[in-house]
Amino acid sequence: MNRQDRLEAVAMTEYDWAYSLVDSSRVSTFLISILLIVYGSFRSLNIDQEERERKEREEDRDNLLPTPPSGQNAAGQPGTENGVVIDTSQAMFLPIGASVSLLVMFFFFDSMQMVFAVCTAVLATVAFAFLLLPMCQYLMRPCSTGTKISFGICGRFTSAEIMSFCLSVMLVFMWVMTGHWLLMDALAMGLCVTMIAFVRLPSLKVSTLLLTGLLIYDVFWVFFSTYIFNANVMVRVATRPADNPVGVIARRLDLPNVAKDAPKLSLPGKLIFPSMHSAGHFSMLGLGDIVMPGLLLCFVLRYDNWKRQTAEPALPPAMIPHGSLAQKVTYFHCSLIGYFVGLLTATVSSEVYKNAQPALLYLVPFTLLPLVIMAYLKGDLKRMWHEPFIKTKSNNPYQEV
């Protein structure tokens, strides 16, 4: 090898991290994670809209003014049918609960992997049915009136809901029988969209507490768990495959051929995209790195929508002139750009340091800090910090805005 060839080889090695950014696995991770957050956020907004329209129809039918429970409203707050709202105490203790769950899976995975696999399959079935529901509603619209069919104690469901559930069951069955990574990714996508759509952050204060706690949680279990447990607990749990329930049952029934063919299952707690250019190389992103920033983006999307509907003045007056380009940038767009930059930074760091990186270490600052700065400049920080969707008219009554 001559001197010129050696210099080119050194240059290629130094910039391997840059070439890896345009690898198919990296590009797929970027696109899918952003699409999941956007889609889940708009599904959440659509659920709110459908709930408001349903209440308006009931109001017109009954000629009565609805009175929400004390301290709550119909825009996705506690006590509504729209979803689960995380309060301050839950935001503070959620990282602790996540740490306990992680330790349980680390120490007792072998003895409880059957339980983990079955519970994951059930949750993934429901979540993927929710993901498929709009498509099924579109397909069933010409031949269905939307009438709900009763299934006794199970409840009443439309034909579109039944169709989406059946398709979801088929997909989970195929995943159990094949263990294919693409089917696992599809189920993980359903879990992401469902959590973003149904779990609500009521204020910027709760969002900050939750994301800051999870940032510390992510950093500790990725960087420091090795010094305590002699293993990277986060990576070990995320990549450990579980025994196939079909294989376990086949061994119990003494069916060696069936047990032999049953593949190990990689649980859909992450998204995995193999590289098309480098055999054996893949990109992995945990669901928490999509869902938790996604909850913040869902909150700011709902706030943008609420602000457009109410058109209330900023408190205090905005520092950015009204009508300027910066004033036209929505909080959702600001946070979405921050998420992309944070994910790009995390990817570069993992390639430079050649080891797993806590993605929330980069995602949280790049999504939260620009949002806080923009809210301050626009004069919305005080309102966003507290619960902006609840407005008091008198002592107790609340009005939906």
Catalytic residues: 218, 289
Inter-residue contact 137 to 160 (CB < 8 Å): yes
CA 155 to centroid of chain Cα atoms? 27
Side chain identity at residue 155, one-letter code:
G
SS3 (DSSP) at 189 = helix
Q: How far apart are CA 50 and CA 54, in angstroms?
A: 6
Query: In Å, what is the CA distance from 373 to each residue of 179, 280, 311, 367, 386?
Result: 45, 42, 21, 11, 16
Any bridge partners for residue 274, and if so which? Answer: 282
Sign of the Cα torsion 22, 26, 28, 30 reads negative
Burial of 319 per CB tally in 10 Å (0-12, 13-18, 19+):
exposed
User: What string of H, E and C letters represents the secondary structure of 295-364?
Assistant: HHHHHHHHHHHHHHHHCCCCCCCCCCCCCCHHHHCCHHHHHHHHHHHHHHHHHHHHHHHCCCCCCHHHHH
Amino acid identity, residue 63? Answer: N
Q: Could you give the CA distance from residue 54 to residue 366 in angstroms, rounded to a whole number? A: 37
Output DSSP code: residue 93: H
Q: What is the dihedral of CA 220, 92, 316, 379, to 10 degrees?
A: 50
